[in-house]
Amino acid sequence: MAHLFNRNILLGVSGGIAAYKSAELVRQLQELGAQVRVIMTRGAQQFITPLTLQALSGNPVHTELLDSEAEQGMGHIELARWADLLLIAPATADLIARLATGRADDLLTTVALATAAPILVAPAMNQQMWHDKASVDNIQTLIERDISLIGPAEGEQACGDIGPGRMEQPEVIAARAASFFDSGLLQGRRVVISAGPTREALDPVRYISNHSSGKMGYALARAAVDAGATTTLISGPVSLETPAHVKRINVQSATEMLEQCLDQCSGSDIFIACAAVADYRPADIQTQKIKKGPEHISLDLVRNPDIVATIAGGDPRPFTVGFAAETNDVVPYAREKMQRKGLDMIVSNDVSNEGIGFNSDDNEVTVIWPSGEQVLPRATKASIARQIIALIGARICANNSENQEK
C-alpha cells in the first residue's frame, strides 16, 4: 500500500485556477502520512488564501523570498533541506518556463534550485498553451534535468476549451508522490535494527557511553518501512522521535540490547546492527554513588557480548549487516571485521570526519559484501539509509538466485 510515512513534502502552489485543488492535495498527502509545508507564489494567493493551506497543513505558509525574519536563519535553504520531495501543483506555464531557465526570482523557484530532493511537477494551463512550442521545449528541458511530471489530464477547462492542460486529481498526484519512496524491495520481510549508544552503569549516577546520536539507525528504520518491511528498532538512549509504523524497544546496556536482539531476531529476515555498543562494561556496578576520593582510581572492565557476531552465528540466522565506525584504514578494517564475524554485509564510515561523524546529519560510507563494495558519497543520512536498504534488497535477491542455481 502506498504511503508517505516519515516524509517531508514541500508543496509549491503557483497562480492558476487549479490552485483550489491544492487544499485537497494537502489533505491527501497527510492521509498518506506526510508532513506538509506549503510555498505559495503571489499569483497563487489570488486564487486561494495562505490561511486556508496553513489551517490544513498545520504549518505556516511561506510566501516571500526576502522575509527578514525567516532569512535570519536562511529560511529558503532550510526549506530546501527539509524537503524529501518538492511537489509543485499546480505548475503554470509561467512557473514551468522559469524552472526551465533556472530563474530564482521568488521563493518557490529559489527553493527548486537549492534543494537536493526530487522534484515532481503537475502542469496546469490552457490546452493551447500546453501545445505551444515554447511550453513543449520547456517541458523537455525539465525532463532532461530529471524533474518528474504528472499529467496534465484532458477534459473541459475553466476557459471552456477541451483538451490537455487540467491538473491531475489530488489523489492521483499524492499516489505518485508516494511512489518516489515506496520501493517494495523488502515487502513482507521482517527487519530488526539496533541504534544509538549503550550506557554501562558505574553506579546509580554515572555510566560509560559514547557519542552516537542514533540518527543513522533511525534513518534506516524509516527506509525499511518505506521498502515495505515490518520494522523493529532496538534503541539505546537517544533524543529522537520513533519513526511512524516502527516498533521501538528501549534498552540501556549492551546486555539488555543483546537480550532484545536475540528475542526479536528469532524469525526475522534481516538484522542491521547500527548501534554503537560499548565494548566493555564495569566488572562491578556500585549500589551507591562513588564519592570523590583519591587523585587516581582504577576501573576493572570486562568485555561486553558481541551482539552482531552472536546473531550472525545463529542457526537459522537473518541476513546480517554490521557497521564499522573507524578513524583510520576504514575499509580494510571493515572488511576484516565482516569476515571475522561472518557477516553478509558491513557499512564502514570514518567517524574522525566531523562532517559525517557522530551527531551529524550527513554521512559518507562504503558498503562492503564478500564479492564487492560500493561507495555512497556524502549525503543526508536519510538518503544514505535508502541506498543501504536498496543494496541489502539487491544482495538478498542475488543470494537467492545463487542458491536456486546450486
Strand order in the sheet with 270-273: 246-250, 230-235, 190-195, 270-273, 319-326, 345-350, 362-369, 372-380
The answer to whether the beta carbons of residues 299 and 203 sit under 8 Å apart is no
Distances from the Cα of 295 to the Cαs of 235, 285, 290, 291, 298, in angstroms? 36, 21, 14, 12, 10
Distances from the Cα of 197 to the Cαs of 210, 223, 295, 308, 349, in angstroms? 6, 20, 29, 14, 16
Catalytic residue, chosen from 159, 265, 274, 397, is: 159
| Phi, psi of 338, rounded to the nearest 5 degrees | -60, -45
Question: What whole-number distance in Å separates Cα of residue 161 and Cα of residue 346?
Answer: 59
Cell numbers that stand for 141 in this block = 528541458
In 164-253, alpha helices (H): 170-179, 215-226
Active site residue 159: yes
- Cα 59–65–71 angle (5° rounding)? 75
The answer to whether the beta carbons of residues 373 and 346 sit under 8 Å apart is no
In 58-123, alpha helices (H): 68-71, 75-82, 93-100, 107-114
Residues identified as active-site:
159
